[in-house]
Amino acid sequence: MKKILLIVLFLISRLAILRCYAGVSENCLWFEFDNPIESPQGIVTQPLFIGYGQFAAASKSIADLDGLDVFYTFGEKNKKREDVFYKAEIETINGRPCVRIISATVTWCAVIAIGRKINKVKYNYFAKTSFFLFGKNKDSINRKIPAENKILERRFNIGIYRERLKEFLNYNRLLGFPLRFKIDFDKSPFSNKDVCVIEENSHTYSLKTDRDGEFIYIPQDENNLDKPIRENYRHFLVYGEQKIEDKVYAAAYTVLLRVGYFNRNVNFALGISIFMISVIISLLIALKISRKYCS
Amino acid sequence: MNIQKIRKVIQISFFLLLIYGGYAGLRFKNFLPVWSCPNSEKYSQGCFLLPLQRSQYGLETGVQDSRGITLSGYFTIRKWQGYFYLFLGFVLVAIILNRAWCGWVCPFGTLQDGFTFIREKFKIREIHFSRKTKNRLKRLKYLSAISLIIIPFLVPFGFDSGPEPLFCQFCPVKSIMSVFVGDFLNLSVHSTNEMKLLQNLIFFVIPSVVTIIFAGISITGIFLKRRFFCFLCPVGALLGVFRKLRFLRIKKGVDFCNDCGNCQRICPMGIKKVDLEKAKEDESADNCILCLECIGACSVIEKA
């Protein structure tokens, strides 16, 4: 009886795991953020770990891949108005593959990893993420020679477009508010396709792109992240895949969720008090001055 | 309908258009010389002073970010093309209207006139400053205009204003005008958990507190003194650069003037020259906003 019960429990757990990864039929390549490191000279280094396998589950080794290249861009364009990419060196930190993006100034950065695995089916993996680096040094770091753009052709591109919010029009809040994503495959919109969002806790949400390859996801708000510690953050992954004949293209975009500028640190009561006090004081001063200087 | 009523109608129309036009989907971007904080997308008009300050990023990096993302990635403008249209729009306004812009179009000017209207309704007397104080106040607008232009050029030399352009960090107009579209964010004390305590104080807490204090002082000022803020406005100073090229001028009939002084008393900008000048016909002094109140108050015209 116990054995039957165990078998039933095992089957239920397997079903639950399968439910978790609904929509993710293949392995994927993804980035994971680590805490940025700032040097005394104001140079900021953002380490990004590279994961391969099933996100939030046991990761496979990238040695299983037949090829892996990582590129990054700071949004510069060349004369042909193409993005200028630089190749990143893959290192190993604590036994995990990692790339380090360095900037001395404040800049936006996008990082793309392209992996290949050739079996009976040819797998093409794309990982992407984007973030800001808040360097505090006025001198920019000389970049190496840009990578060939051809290597990035026919790529699976997932972009994030943050909605401007009524409450925080200038400042992007990430938690509890809609995030709009746009997916392109081979320079065309990834229209009416199933995609999924995988949270760190393995919860997977199946979504569908619209005609323009766009969809909206609202990450769940989390009070734990609303604390004055920069290190508080969580990731989630946007995943999409496309099968063409004997080729599989799988793309994963890592979204870093942490509290943005001004999030909830806006004190209106204190502000309006200061305003009223300044009105009263300036009124008294103005009246005193006007008596003194009355023409 | 007399000219002042026409002016009020025009002022209110532009106020509604520039402040609430965003509700109707109107977007004038930053090309009109108006202070209106783009914190609220309900505005149809972005702030003119904002891209002016953002020239720093082009200077710093040589090439602007391809997506137009600047220091904090909040605002977008195509650098050179944007600046060209910005300059073109400003020159056109400066030549065609010059400071008539302040008297007839500027929403903040209209707001100041509104406060004057309320003060007069409550029969509260306007405060008067001595000429010396007034002259000192007048200089402030040039000081603010110069600082607005110079500060961005200091950025490549390590002058970092933090996540917002420096001028915006202390701008009182953003607090006041945002209220009209139901945005009280700029009347709040800001802090962030993204930075260390000292940076938090320097870049967020102190600027937001100073902005609120400036807003309070400005409200008192515009309530007690007609067009108080026009004495401090850098846009007025920048428009003044093109004063000699302007189309609109007031010509005084010097031969008919009976020295009654009504024009000087009614002038919201407190221009004495309008009464005292006896030689030249052109009365459009540096601060003249062409409100035409002097013409309405002229006893000679009234008799005629």
> Per-residue pLDDT tens for A159-194?
776 555 444 434 445 566 677 888 888 778 888 888
Taking the CA of residue A121 and the nearest CA in chain B, the distance in Å comes to: 37
pLDDT digits (tens, 9 = 90+) for B15-32: 888 888 777 777 666 667
| Residue tagged 């008294």 (tokens) | A284
Say if CB B203 and CB B195 are below 8 A apart. Answer: yes
Q: Give dist(CA A46, CA A226) in Å, integer.
A: 22
Q: Interface pTM (ipTM) of the complex?
A: 0.80
Contacts of B187 in chain A (CB under 8 A): 268, 271-272, 275
Smallest CA-to-CA distance from A141 within A110, A112, A106, A113 is with A106
Q: Render each residue's pLDDT in chain A as its tens digit; 295 residues.
A: 666 666 665 555 544 444 444 455 568 888 988 888 888 877 888 999 998 887 666 567 878 888 888 988 887 777 777 778 888 889 988 888 999 998 887 777 889 898 888 888 888 888 888 887 777 766 666 666 666 655 555 566 777 765 554 444 344 455 666 778 888 887 788 888 888 888 877 778 888 888 888 888 887 766 666 554 455 677 888 888 888 888 888 888 888 876 554 444 678 889 999 999 999 999 888 877 766 554 4
Supply the pTM of this predicted model: 0.59
A272 touches B: beta carbon within 8 Å? yes
Q: Give dist(CA A25, CA A204) in Å, integer.
A: 12
Q: Give dist(CA B240, CA B233) in Å, integer.
A: 11
For residue A295, what pLDDT is reported? 45
User: Number of helices and strands (H, E) in chain A?
Assistant: 2, 18
Q: Give dist(CA B185, CA B205) in Å, integer.
A: 13
- Written in H, E and C, the secondary structure of chain B is CCHHHHHHHHHHHHHHHHHHHHHHCCCCECCCCCCCCCCCCCCCECCCHHHHHCHHHHHHHCCCCCCCCCCCCCCCCCHHHHHHHHHHHHHHHHHHCCCHHHHHCCHHHHHHHHHHHHHHHCCCCCCCCCHHHHHHHHHHHHHHHHHHHHHHHHHHHCCCCCCCCHHHHHCHHHHHHHHHHCCCHHHCEECCCCCCHHHHHHHHHHHHHHHHHHHHHHHHHHHHCCCHHHHCCHHHHHHHCCHHHCCCCCECCCCCCCCCCHHHHHCCCCCCHHHHCCCCCECCCCCCCCCCHHHHHCHHHHHC
Contacts of B75 in chain A (CB under 8 A): 170
The first and second tokens of residue A206, run together, are: 């199946």
User: What count of other Cβ atoms lies within 10 Å of the Cβ of residue A256?
Assistant: 15
Taking the CA of residue A187 and the nearest CA in chain B, the distance in Å comes to: 18
The first and second tokens of residue A289, run together, are: 């001055």
For residue A279, what pLDDT is reported? 92
Q: Give dist(CA A183, CA B168) in Å, integer.
A: 36
Indicate yes or no: CB of B193 within 8 angstroms of CB of A265.
yes
DSSP state of A227: S
Q: Which of residues 21-40 of B touch A (CB under 8 A)?
A: 38-40
A284 touches B: beta carbon within 8 Å? no
Say if CB B243 and CB B286 are below 8 A apart. Answer: yes
Q: Give dist(CA A290, CA A287) in Å, integer.
A: 5
Indicate yes or no: CB of A76 within 8 angstroms of CB of B192.
no
Q: Give dist(CA B96, CA B257) in Å, integer.
A: 28
Taking the CA of residue B221 and the nearest CA in chain A, the distance in Å comes to: 8
Contacts of A293 in chain B (CB under 8 A): 128-130, 133
Based on the number of CB atoms within 10 Å of its own CB, is B256 exposed (0-12), middle (13-18) or buried (19 or more)?
exposed
Contacts of B204 in chain A (CB under 8 A): 262, 265
Tell me the three state secondary structure of residue A111: strand
